[in-house]
Structure 1
Amino acid sequence: MNQTKKQVDGALFTGLFIIILLAGLFIPVITPIAIFVLPIPFVMYTARHSWKPALVMAVATIILSILLGTVLALPLAVPTIIGGIMIGEAIHKKITAYETLARGTFGYIVGMLLIFLFVQLVLQVNMVAEFQSLMDESLARSTSMMEQFGNQEQTDVVKETMEQVTEGLMNLLPFYFLFIAIIQALISQWLAYKLMNRIEKRQLRFPPFRSLRFPSSVLFIYLFVLLAAFMVADADSGTMSMAIQNLLVIAQLILTIQGFSFLFFFAHDKKMSKAFPIISIILVLLMPTFMFIIRFLGILDIGMNLRERMGKK
C-alpha cells in the first residue's frame, strides 16, 4: 500500500511539475511565478516519502522536461528540483525552519553550479565571458551617447566610474548567485509551508524574525575576512581578491540581518510598536549610509550577547 502511494504521488507531482515548467517556459509572464512555485511538488513529495524515491521522481521529471521542453528546460528545472528535494528532506526530518532554509539554499547553489558546468562544457558557452561582453557593450553605448551631449572631461570621469562599477559587478558574481539562491529558497519554502499547512493540516512556520541569532563564529570569520581584505587591498585583482570581496560582502550581509533581528527583538522586549523596526528597515534601504549602524548592532549582538544582558537587567 505504501509503495502504491509513493507511485501515485510521484505521478501526480511529476505531472504538476511538468505543467508548471511548460507554462513558465512558453508564457513569459508566468516565468517569475513559476521559478518560486516549481520546487513545491518536490518539497511536498520529499516531505512525505524522503529523498530516495524523490531521486527517482527527479530522473523521470528531467527526462520529461528535456523531451517536452528541450534542453532549454534544464536551467529552470534542475535548480528547483534539487532545492525542492533539500527543503522537503529537511521537513521530513523535522529540522528547524532556518536550517531548512540553509539546506534549500545549498540545493539551489548546487543546481545552479550544475547548470553552469553544463552550459560551459556541453553547450560550449562561457556565461561569464558573455556577461562581460554584454556589460562592455552597454558601457560602450552609454559612453557614445555621453560624448554626443557632454564635454570630453565629464565623459572621461563618468566612463571611469562606470568601468569601476562594471568591474565590481563582475567580481561579485558569486555573491549575486548566493543571494538569488537564498531568495529562491526562502520564497519557495514559505509557499510550501502555506500550502502544506492548508492541505495536510501541518503547523509549519518560520519562527519570529526577532529570534534569529547567528553563531559567534560569524563574527570571527568577518574579522578574519576584513583583515584579509586590507592585506590584499593594494594587490592586483585576481582569484584571491575576488574570493575575499565576496566573503566580505556575505559576512556583512549576515551581520546586517543580525542587526535587523536585534531591532525586532528590542521592539518586542520594550513592548514597542512593530512599526519601529519596519520603518528602520525602510530608512536603511532608502539611505544605505545607515547600514553601518545596523551592522554594528549585529556585531554587538553576537559579540556581547546584548539580548542576554537586556534580559538580566
Structure 2
Amino acid sequence: MNQSKQLTDGVLLTAIFMALMLIAAFIPIISLVAAFLLPVPFIFYASRYDWKPAMVMLIAASVLSVLLTSIISLPLPLLMGLGGIMAGSAIYRNFSAYETLARGTIGFVIGMVFIFAFGHLAFQVNLVTEINQSMQESLTMSQDMMAQFGLAELSEEQVNMVTEQLAMLTDLLPVWVAVAALVLAWISQWVSYKLINRLERKQLCFPPFRSLRLPVSLIWIYFFALILSFFNQEQTGMLYTAVHNVLMLTGIFMTLQGFSFIFYYAHTKRMSKALPITSIILTLFLPFILLYLVRLLGIIDIGFSLRDRISNDKT
C-alpha cells in the first residue's frame, strides 16, 4: 500500500511540476509566480518519502522535460529538483526552519552552478563573458543616447570608473548566486510549509525574524577576510575576488542579524512594530550611512550576545 501511494504521489507531483514548468515557459504573465512554485512538488514529495524516492522523481521529470521541450530545458528541473529535495529531506528529518533553509539554499546553489557548467560545456557560453559584454553594450548605448539628446558626455575618467564598478558587479557573481538561491529557497519553503500544514495537519513555520541568531564563527570569517583584504590591494586575481565575495556575503548576513536585533529590541521593550519596519525603509534609502551601522549592530549582537544582556536586564 505504501509503495502504491508513493508511486501515485510521485506521478501526480511530477505531472504538477511539468504543468508548472510549461506555464513558466509559455505564459509570461504568470511565469515568475510559476517559477517560484517549481521546487514545491519536490519539497512536498521529499518531505513525505525522503531523498531517494525524490531523486527518482527528479530523473523522471528531467527526462520528460527533455522529451516535451528540448535538451536546453534540462538544467531547470535539476535546479528546482536539487533545491527542493534538499529542503524536503530536511523537513522529513524534522530539522528546524533555518536548517532547512540553509540546506535548500545549498541545493539551489549547486543547481545554479550546474546551469553555468551546462551552458559552458554544451553551448560554449561563458556567463561571465556574456554579462561583461552586455554591460559594455549598455554603457555604450547610454553614451550614444546622451550624445543624441545633447547631454554632457562622460569623461574618460568617469567611463573608467563606471567600467570598474561594472567589473566589480561581475566579480560578485557568486554573491548574487547565493542571494538568489536564498530567496528562492525561502519562498519555496514558505509555500511548502503552507501546503504541508493544510494537507497533513502539521504546524511547520518559520520562527519570528527577531529570533534569528547566526553562529559566532561568522564574525571570525568576516574579520579574517577583512584582514586579507588589507594585504591584497590589487583589484585582480582569484584571491581578491574570493575575499571580496566572502566580505560581501558575510556582511549581508550580519546586516540581517542587525535587523533581527532591532526587531527583538522593539519586541522586548514593547515598542511599536513601526520602529523596526521604519529602520529597514530608512536603510534602503540611506544605505551609505545606516547600512554599516546596522551591520555593526549585528556584529555586536553575535559577538557579545547583546540580546542576552537585554534579557538579563529585563529580568
Matched, 1:58 2:58: yes
Equivalent residue number for residue 258 of structure 1: 257
* Residue aligned with 1:110, SS: helix
Tell me by how many angstroms 1:147 deviates. Answer: 4.0
Whether the 8 Å contact between 1:35 and 1:76 is mirrored in structure 2 is: no
Say whether residues 1:20 and 2:39 are aligned partners. no
Query: How much has 1:151 moved relative to structure 2?
Result: 4.4
**1:35 and 1:179 mapped to 2: Cα distance?**
16
User: 2:269 maps to what in 1?
Assistant: 270
Query: Matched residues in 2 for 1:236 and 1:126: separation?
Result: 21
Work out whether residues 119 and 125 of structure 1, in 8 Å CA contact, stay in contact via their aligned partners in 2.
yes
Residues of 2 paired with 1:276 and 1:61: CA distance? 46
2:58 counterpart letter in structure 1: A
Counterpart of 1:169?
A: 169
Tell me the residue number matched to 2:143. Answer: 143
Counterparts of 2:78 and 2:21 in 1: how far apart (Å)?
Answer: 11
Please tell me whether the aligned partners of residues 47 and 91 of structure 1 are also in contact (alpha carbons under 8 angstroms): yes
Kept after mapping to 1: 8 A contact 2:75/2:118: no
How many angstroms apart in 1 are the aligned matches of 2:295 and 2:55? 41
Structural mapping, 1:192-231, within 5 Å: 192-231=192-231
Compare 178-187 and 119-128 and name the one that shifted more. Answer: 119-128
User: Is this contact kept in 2: 1:80–1:111, CA < 8 A?
Assistant: yes
1:161 to partner: Cα distance: 2.9
2-structure distance, mates of 1:75, 1:264: 39
Deviation of 1:236 after TM superposition, in Å, equals: 4.6
Kindly report which structure 2 residues correspond to 1:1-313, keeping only aligned pairs within 5 A, or say none.
1-148=1-148, 149-151=150-152, 154-233=154-233, 235-288=234-287, 289-313=289-313
Aligned residues: CA RMSD? 1.3
Q: Percent identity?
A: 45
Residue identity matched to 2:12: L
Residues 132 and 167 of structure 2 are in contact (CA less than 8 Å); yes or no, is this contact kept in structure 1? no
Partner secondary structure for residue 133 of structure 1: helix
Structure 2 residue identity aligned to 1:118: F
Shift of 1:208: 0.8
Runs of 4+ off more than 3 Å: none
* TM-score, normalization by structure 1: 0.96
Alpha-carbon offset, residue 209 of structure 1:
0.7
**Superposed displacement of residue 146, structure 1:** 3.1
1:206 match: secondary structure = coil
Matched to 1:127, the amino acid is L
Residue 272 of structure 1 deviates from its aligned partner by: 0.9
Q: d(CA) in 1 for partners of 2:312 and 2:22?
A: 57
Q: Measure the CA separation in 1 of the matches of 2:283 and 2:178.
A: 22
Distance 1:179 1:291 in 2: 17
Asked if the contact 2:255/2:295 (under 8 Å) is kept, the reply is yes
CA distance in 2: counterparts of 1:143 and 1:240, whole angstroms: 33
Structure 1 position 169, deviation (Å): 0.9
Q: Deviations over 1:226-250 (max 9, x none)?
A: 11111112x2511111111110000
Cα distance between partner residues in 2 of 1:225 and 1:55: 37
Confirm or deny: 8 A CA contact 2:261 2:298 kept in the other structure: yes
CA distance in 1, matches of 2:169, 2:31: 25
Question: Structure 1 counterpart of 2:22, which letter?
Answer: L
Structure 1's unaligned 5+ residue stretches are none
The one-letter amino acid paired with 1:285 is: L
CA distance in 2, matches of 1:52, 1:126: 33
> Which whole-Å deviations, capped at 9, do the CAs of 1:190-218 have from their partners, x for residues lacking one?
01111111122110000111111011111
Instruction: Write the letter of the residue equivalent to 1:194.
Output: K
Taking the aligned partners of 2:152 and 2:297, their CA distance within structure 1 comes to 45
Counterparts of 1:13 and 1:89 in 2: how far apart (Å)?
Answer: 16
**2:255–2:291 CA contact under 8 A, matched in 1:** yes
> Residue 263 of structure 1 contacts residue 277 of structure 1 at CA under 8 Å; is this kept in 2?
yes
Tell me the amino acid that sits aligned with residue 76 of structure 1.
L
Q: Helix, strand or coil for the counterpart of 2:206? A: coil
What letter is aligned with 1:260? F
